[in-house]
Structure 1
Amino acid sequence: MALKAPPPPFTWNGCYVGIDGGGAHGHVRATDTLGGAWLTTPGVTPAEIAAIQANGSPTMDDDGLQGGAQIGCNWQTGPVVFGIEADGSYLGLSNSQFTFTPAAGGGGNVSNAAAESTNALFTIRPRLGFAAQNALFYVTGGFAEGHVTFADTQTYFATTSAASGQLQRWIGGWTVGGGVEYAIISNWIIGAEYLHVDLRSTSFTAPVLPGFATFLDTFSARFTEDIFRARVSYKFDWAPIK
């Protein structure tokens, strides 16, 4: 009776495609910086400038769903696994905030209405992992780019005027994180992953209108996200590294 050869040991060598989904938490720090005639007009005090800038600098937090897809390749030598991965995600993150300061710094009443959202994210990241048979533990980090919107309006009641504007653009930053994967049957792999994303800051400058075009407000926003997600991938084999 012929003996059946044992199956070859599992290897992480190969490329893969898959889908992922989970939750995301976003944090946006908005900042209003006054410039132009705000800094040179007699009667505008440092206390008033500080109060106006504080009113226009809210912090916004939001939670939403995340879903996307990934593609990558791994190279295994001994227990060490090197990889590269690119992924794209939908992020349902958005929030808005209204603030009001009466007699700001001894001046007039000021209000601020800010809104933000992040709806898409792409990353490309090297991965470095340690394989324990069918399990892989890894760290990862690299480039991230997100599509964001940011709108802000600062209203000055004493002059019945406002500085207002919005932006919608792709901004680049970085990401770092880690995860664990497990090969369950044949070439199917399940896993869980965490990523911290910092898209840095983006800004626009708006004049105070009507009537005060030389008074400028520069609104900026820094976007960060924390993503927790599960993933499923299918791996295409190639020959192991000798």
Structure 2
Amino acid sequence: MRAILSLSFLALVSAPSFAADIIFDPDPVPPMVALPEAPFSWSGRYIGIDLGYGKSKVKQEYATATTATDLFNIKQGEGAFGGVYAGFGRQARNLYFGFEGDVQYASIKGKSTNVAGTTGEFTPTWLGSTRLRAGYAINNVLGQDMGHLLPYLTGGLAFGGFKATTKTSAGAEWSASRPDTGYTLGAGIDYAINNNTIAKLEYQYMDFGKRTFSDETDYVRLRMKAHTIRAGVAYKF
């Protein structure tokens, strides 16, 4: 009996020490694995700035008697422009559809002087457009990594402010200005520098049709066209 009690007492005394010697290893922490980046997508909104160069052509259709009949036949006006643009789009597989608008401060001046020394000048003071865009996303060409390219076609409404001015050799001046609308068609290519920075190069043809420029007494009817090319960079979010 005494021996049994002694063994029980020893067991009780040694149990905590035995428990303390037991080491519970925690579950091993799995190694950190870098998550793969999401594939690039052209879907999203963007806003950017651009600079460009344009050439215009003006044809005089009609003028009152006080204006020379061919004064505003300006075969080439030219100059720079710059402004802002913004838009949004969605990519489905490789197809892309979007909408874009832009407003530009323009200085595309055209001038003509007749034999009498009278000068006619035509100037778009600002230009803009709202357009649809449709493109095809390209990640490689003939198996070669080309980054992320988006060639596209675009077209829609063009608008702007225009001014027609005449000045005789004697110093007499006449001028009229008006805002107007037309249509634009073009094509371009976007290049993704990274997920949020998009560069662009774009051509647009603008046609504003026949428009009348008038003050209270005299007027001229002109047909206006322009070709523009621009480069821009935008932030996509």
TM-score (normalizing by structure 2): 0.74
1:145 aligns with 2:133: no
1:83 aligns with 2:98: yes
Q: Secondary structure of 2:188's match?
A: strand
Contact 1:19–1:68 (Cα < 8 Å) also in 2: yes
Higher relative contact order (CA 8 A, sep 6+): 1
Q: Which residue of 2 aligns with 1:42?
A: none
1:66 to 81, 84, 90: 81
Rg (Cα) greater in structure: 2
Q: Secondary structure of 1:93's match?
A: coil
Contact 1:150–1:221 (Cα < 8 Å) also in 2: no
Contact 2:131–2:155 (Cα < 8 Å) also in 1: yes
TM-superposition CA deviations, 1:59-81 (whole Å, max 9, x none): 24122111111110011111110
Which amino acid in 2 is paired with 1:113?
T
TM-superposition CA deviations, 1:20-49 (whole Å, max 9, x none): 1121111111233568xxxxxxxxxxxxxx
Q: Secondary structure of 2:114's match?
A: strand
Percent of paired sites with the same residue? 29
**Mapping of residues 162-181 of structure 1, within 5 Å:** 165-181=174-190
- How many aligned residue pairs are there? 197
Which amino acid in 1 is paired with 2:108?
L
Q: Secondary structure of 1:185's match?
A: coil
For structure 1, the 5+ residue unaligned runs are 36-51, 101-109, 156-161, 208-215, 237-242
1:30 to 60, 67, 80: 60
1:136 aligns with 2:150: yes
**Mapping of residues 179-194 of structure 1, within 5 Å:** 179-194=188-203
Residues 116 and 57 of structure 1: is their aligned pair in 2 closer, same or farther, counting only changes over 3 Å?
Answer: closer
Residues 34 and 60 of structure 1: is their aligned pair in 2 closer, same or farther, counting only changes over 3 Å?
Answer: same
CA RMSD of aligned residues (A): 2.7
Q: Which residue of 1 aligns with 2:25?
A: none
Q: Secondary structure of 2:109's match?
A: strand
Which amino acid in 2 is paired with 1:79?
N
1:230 aligns with 2:236: no
For structure 2, the 5+ residue unaligned runs are 1-30, 140-147
Q: Which residue of 2 aligns with 1:13?
A: 43
Contact 1:20–1:69 (Cα < 8 Å) also in 2: yes
Residues 152 and 171 of structure 1: is their aligned pair in 2 closer, same or farther, counting only changes over 3 Å?
Answer: same
Q: Which residue of 1 aligns with 2:10?
A: none
If each structure's strand is expressed as a fraction of its own residues, which one has the higher value? 1
Contact 1:23–1:229 (Cα < 8 Å) also in 2: yes
Q: Which residue of 2 aligns with 1:103?
A: none
Q: Which residue of 1 aligns with 2:131?
A: 125
Shift of 1:206: 7.8
Range with greater deviation from structure 2 (194-203 or 138-147):
194-203
